Amino acid sequence: MSKTIAVNAGSSTVKFKLFDMPSEEVVAEGLIERIGLEMGHAKIKYGDGQVHDEQTPFKDHGVAVEYLLKQLTALKIVESFDEITAVGHRIVAGGEYFKDSAVIDDKVMEEIDALADYAPLHNPAELLGIKAFKKVLPNAFAVAVFDTSFHASMPKMNALYSLPYDWYEKYGARKYGAHGTSHRYVAQRAAKLLGKPLEDLNLITCHIGAGASITAIKGGKSYDTSMGFSPLAGITMATRSGDVDPSLVNFMEHKLNISSDEMVDILNHKSGLLGISGVSSDMRDVQAAAQKGNDQAQLALDIFENRVVRYIGSYMAELGHTDAIVFTAGVGENDVEFRQAIADQLKNFGLGVDPEKNNVRGVERDISSADATVKVLLIPTNEELMIVHDIERLKAAAK
């Protein structure tokens, strides 16, 4: 029986699931997190409830992928790499090149590399992952699944900035969004939970992790999304600033006597929760510091929640009618207090969370209160399964 591995690299994580095919049974899954921090963490679940759990530093995504591949054989999850016949990679930025997933060849890798400026925290790391897997699995059918392709359906009034139009025509200056694979998956699951066709629903999906984005979905298609030309825009994130007045950026470049490249690095790597709190980029660390009375950490949490509320509220106005708000990804799936706080701040918009239903982590369910007129759903994302489905679709098309 052949196996397919789906690889989902975030800005500070590498998740994977190994599937038996064609049954789509998950035979192993894992997460390497806190990549680039002083100490990383790897956890792999496999076999009959077996778990490999290790604390070790991961300098970058290339090191994390090499570690993962070694563990697959060391733990006897696979006897030989020949068992893995397909690899799917989640790629953030597809730019104007990719309106759909693509079979990976040299040209596709060159184009992923050329799009590095669109997603500087992701595309270079994901390309390292592609090359690492190709080195060990040269004959596997490899597919790139682009987060931006889901947002290709956005109307121009939401996709374009108020800038000279020829910038879009000549240079592709527009909003591309990200996390499309996740938003696409949870939207489909939301339709199942609500018992309605996806095309009949208006949803706001909140992918809240180290990277975070909020998407308005109208009739099953992306209508607007918080991330922009790159994943730097939108709400406050772990190390990314989210929306900032461009004039302030220029002002600070002069004050600090730094280049625009150095400023972009600061906005991507030294801002967000890390920059405001001065404690950490990890939400759990910031929350712990706030509980000990750290005012900057508490301010970081307040700003984070404020930006989420601001985007949800604006999208509810844009959609006109909203059937459900969906929380997913690391913080969205696991932070009980965060979900409650967001719903409480939007109670005048018809949101309500039942504290008992909400008191779970990573369990798919309707967590709405009885009086809520807008449903609140907790749906763990499964980008890996979406990747597997795209692999099979492209395999069939290649025959």
- pLDDT per position as a tens digit, 180-217: 999 999 999 999 999 999 999 999 999 999 999 999 99
Would you state the pLDDT for residue 321?
95
- 302 an active-site residue? no
Question: Residues 86-101: pLDDT tens digits?
Answer: 999 989 889 888 988 9
Task: Characterise 95 by phi-psi region: left (phi > 0), alpha (psi -120 to 50), beta (else).
Answer: left
For domain 195-378, give the fold: Nucleotidyltransferase; domain 5 (3.30.420)
Using a 10 angstrom Cβ sphere, with 0-12 exposed, 13-18 middle and 19 or more buried, the burial of residue 45 is: middle
- Which is the catalytic residue, given 48, 53, 100, 147? 147
Mean pLDDT of 28-44: 93
Identify the DSSP state of 353. B
Identify the DSSP state of 101. -
What's the one-letter identity of residue 44?
I
- Could you give the angle at the alpha carbon of 85 between the alpha carbons of 79 and 89, nearest 5°? 110
Could you count the other beta carbons within 10 Å of the beta carbon of residue 339?
Answer: 23
Which of 115, 90, 114, 86 has its CA nearest to residue 101? 90
Mean pLDDT of 363-381: 97
Instruction: Provide CATH code, domain 3-152.
Output: 3.30.420.40
Query: In terms of residues, how long is the chain?
Result: 399
Domain pair 3-152 / 195-378, same fold:
yes
pTM for the model? 0.84
Burial letters for 3-40: b for 16+ Cβ neighbours within 10 Å, e otherwise? bbbbbbbbbbbbbbbbbebeeeebbbbbbbbbbbeeeb
Residue ranges of domains in the chain = 3-152, 195-378
Instruction: Please spell the DSSP secondary structure of 125-169, one letter per residue.
Output: HHHHHHHHHHHH-TTSEEEEEEGGGGGGGS-HHHHS-SS-HHHHH
